[in-house]
Amino acid sequence: MSTTAIPSAAGSGSAATDKFKGNRVSSDTSKERAAAIYKDVLTKLGEVIFEHEVTYAEYRVLKQWLIEIGDGGEWPLWLDVFLEHFIEDSNSRIFTGTKGSIEGPYYVPDAPNLGSKGTMPMREDEKGTALVFKGQVRDLDGAGIEGATVELWHADSDGYYSQFDAGLGIPEWNLRATFSTDAEGNYEITTIQPAPYQIPHDGPTGEFIASYDGHPWRPAHLHLKVTAPGKRLITTQLYFQGGQWVDDDVAGAVKPELTLDPKPNAAGVDEVTYDFVLDPV
């Protein structure tokens, strides 16, 4: 695991900001709903300010910090680490399939499709322990779904995500791929086990964390998006049982149902089975 060479917040952050900006989003929120939400947010914020007697110095520091987060391109990072888990929990409350988790700032659509079984694109000398990750995608009735899509992306063992490496030269689709399940709904992926991950903290997000004496660590994780025609897209993450930071994720994105416990297979390679259950749309 790397503890020193991590992507700079400015480098990976501005790449995430640029990618997000390139894809304009909208929502059909009514004026009534917008009014209700903004009033509640400000009322609750006001309560916190009174409760803690927030000072003018603190207010000015907040203003300065908010400006710096924007200037440094760190909004995707800060928001996905500190706020997204509330959105995800709230949105997924009514679903009964596999649990979701946050997407984070480093997803890229349209990664190469490798069929139902394959090895993640990786460099010849990719560091890390091999992992065979396989399973079945099913509907709520337990039937395997043929042609379900399993997208997987994760960091390398130094904590870098391809396309967010601030010019390090990691190949474009390194450790990113799409799989399509076979006739029985099965997939099988060979990859490397990611290491615990420090979010970039050399910028204002790091200042924020230092201000309350926190840590910037996330447990080692795999990011996934799984879907099929007529099924709800599930965005989730998988962690490793007993791994460092599983109980203390800076992004608050671990759920007990989302941990893996790989064991050596007949060939001596760590292997784990994880089945996905998709809700109907």
For Fe ion, the binding residues (CB under 5 A) are: 104
Question: Which of 157, 175, 163 shows the shortest CA–CA distance to 120?
Answer: 175
Residues 184, 23: Cα–Cα separation, whole Å = 35
CB 106 to ligand MBD: min, Å: 5
Q: For residue 156, state whether it binds ligand MBD (rule: CB under 6 A).
A: no
Tokens representing 254 are: 């671990």
Tokens representing 59 are: 């207010």
Binding to ligand MBD in span 52-111, by CB under 6 A: 77, 80-81, 102, 104-106
Q: Which does 225 bind (CB under 5 to 8 A by kind): ligand MBD, Fe ion, none?
A: none
Q: Which does 81 bind (CB under 5 to 8 A by kind): ligand MBD, Fe ion, none?
A: ligand MBD
Q: Which residue lies nearer to ligand MBD by CB, 82 or 273?
A: 82
CB 139 to ligand MBD: min, Å: 28
Binding to ligand MBD in span 227-256, by CB under 6 A: 251
Mention every residue, 6+ apart, whose C-beta is less than 8 A from residue 277: 96, 97, 98, 137, 138, 139, 140
Q: Which residue lies nearer to Fe ion by CB, 116 or 164?
A: 164
Q: Which residue lies nearer to ligand MBD by CB, 199 or 277?
A: 199
Torsion of CA 114, 117, 120, 123, to 10 degrees: -100
Residues 54, 64: Cα–Cα separation, whole Å = 15
Q: Which residue lies nearer to ligand MBD by CB, 100 or 105?
A: 105
Binding to ligand MBD in span 163-182, by CB under 6 A: none
Q: Which residue lies nearer to ligand MBD by CB, 102 or 277?
A: 102
Site mask for ligand MBD (CB under 6 A), range 105-134, x = bound: xx----------------------------
Residue nearest ligand MBD (C-beta atom)? 104
Q: Which does 102 bind (CB under 5 to 8 A by kind): Fe ion, ligand MBD, none?
A: ligand MBD
Q: Which does 85 bind (CB under 5 to 8 A by kind): Fe ion, ligand MBD, none?
A: none
* SS3 labels along 27-95: CCCCHHHHHHHHHHHHHHHHHHHHHHCCCHHHHHHHHHHHHHHHHCCCHHHHHHHHCHHHHHHHHHCCC
Mention every residue, 6+ apart, whose C-beta is less than 8 A from residue 106: 12, 16, 153, 161, 163, 164, 223
190 within 8 A of 118, measured Cβ to Cβ? yes
Mention every residue, 6+ apart, whose C-beta is less than 8 A from residue 197: 155, 159, 217, 218, 219, 220, 221
Residues 93, 91: Cα–Cα separation, whole Å = 6
- Number of residues this chain uses to bind ligand MBD (CB under 6 A): 11
- Facing residues of 188 across strands? 117, 134
Q: For residue 15, state whether it binds ligand MBD (rule: CB under 6 A).
A: no
CB 237 to Fe ion: min, Å: 7
> Which residue matches tokens 């499709």?
113
CB 238 to ligand MBD: min, Å: 12
Interface ranges with ligand MBD (CB under 6 A): 77, 80-81, 102, 104-106, 197, 199, 218, 251
